[in-house]
Amino acid sequence: MSPDRIALKGLRARGRHGVLPAERELGQEFVVDATLFLDTAPAAAGDDLTKTVHYRELAEALVEVVEGEPVALMETLAQRLADVCLASELVRKVEVSVHKPAAPIPLPFDDVVVTIERSRV
């Protein structure tokens, strides 16, 4: 049976991630999408928040990572965010996308996105 999903999309936070010194100095907005795969039936059966992922707490933890220690690569940031999502033993798998809409690219573009998928071993 396919697990259920909880998705948090468009979470915005300011971070200082990037390879260029200006990115570290000035910072920029990052947008995070996270889809968690888990069984929500136990929570639904008892209407019990403790048997699912509290998405407000998840959002706060993800923002802490984005606003926290800078990294050079979006791939590293995405991995750190996936690790936060997998901290709950209820989560079987996660897909995390990190958007960097103000990436320093001197050409017209809409967005740069790194998407990773990680699962519990």
Residues with a catalytic annotation lie at 100
Q: What is the DSSP letter of 58?
A: H
- String of b and e for 22-49 (b: at least 16 CB within 10 Å)? ebeeebbebbbbbbbbbebeebeeeeee
Contact between residue 114 and residue 97 where contact means Cβ atoms under 8 Å apart: yes
